[in-house]
Amino acid sequence: MKYPILTNLLIAILLLTLLACGNQKLEHYQFINETITLPIPKNYQPIPSDKIASLYNDKLDDVKYSVLVSSFYDLQRGDQTLDILKDEKSKFHYLLLLNSRNSPVFNELTFNKLKSAQAHQYDLIMEADATIKIELFDSKFEDLGEMSVVMMKHKFIVNNEDSFYKTVFFINKSGETVIAHELNLAEHDSKEFLKGIIIP
């Protein structure tokens, strides 16, 4: 090999990078008034539900704030003890969590019905505001045996320039279903963390 020292240095840097990504330190966040825990990075910090109105002053524009608050009220109808986590490393990254305490049968038919209902809701938003365009970015149904996961990710585009993502998850495990709404500037999501949810 022509440059053994340089090659070994590059291999060492690559290994350190992979180890740093693979060993992200997770903490176990416990749902409010629940025994459910979620392994999640430390930078996801809880926000009390009564602070949701103050987030408008958190440098959020009208559309982001409106989508965040509508997600909050949609989920709060199912449970007054809604869990809200904010990724402190991002300007706009929120994870809203609800234990719905029911266990519908999740299969391809249910998945398609959920997708259709979500699409209808977003069509109504676009009809009401011509500056907003909402596109389906990704959707999946996974039957993992002891757990099933539905994911529907949409991209919101405002005035053809500003954009963000909203992902809705249904995680069915141990006879209960956790619903999560995630809003994020980047397309990545918390699906892998949500798959590690512990429901005793």
DSSP annotation of 196: T
Query: What number is the average pLDDT over the span 188-199?
Result: 94
Q: What is the mean pLDDT of the chain?
A: 86
CATH code for the domain of 104: 3.40.1000
- β-bridge pairing 132-143 and 162-173: unpaired
Residues 29, 36 contacting (CB under 8 angstroms): no
Chain centroid offset of residue 65 CA: 16
In a domain, 33, yes or no: yes
pTM of the model: 0.84
Q: Does 82 score more than 70 pLDDT?
A: yes
In a domain, 76, yes or no: yes
Say which residue the tokens 């099933």 belong to: 148
In a domain, 126, yes or no: yes
Residue 47 bridge partners (DSSP): 84
Please tell me whether residue 136 adopts helix, strand or coil conformation. strand
Residues spanned by the domain of 189: 25-194
In b/e form, how buried is each residue of 84-110, taking b as 16+ CB within 10 angstroms? Answer: bbbbeeeebbbbbbbbeeeeeebeeeb
Q: How many domains does the chain have?
A: 1
Q: Does 55 score more than 90 pLDDT?
A: no
Residues 19, 57 contacting (CB under 8 angstroms): no
In a domain, 82, yes or no: yes
From 43, 12, 18, 15, select the one nearest 29 (Cα to Cα). Answer: 43
* Best mean pLDDT range from 16-20, 39-43, 70-74, 75-79: 39-43
Residues 68, 60 contacting (CB under 8 angstroms): yes
Query: What number is the average pLDDT over the span 8-33?
Result: 61
Cα(39)–Cα(28) distance, rounded to whole angstroms?
4
- Average the pLDDT over each of 42-51, 135-144, 182-191 and give the range with the smallest value: 42-51
Q: Does 45 score more than 60 pLDDT?
A: yes
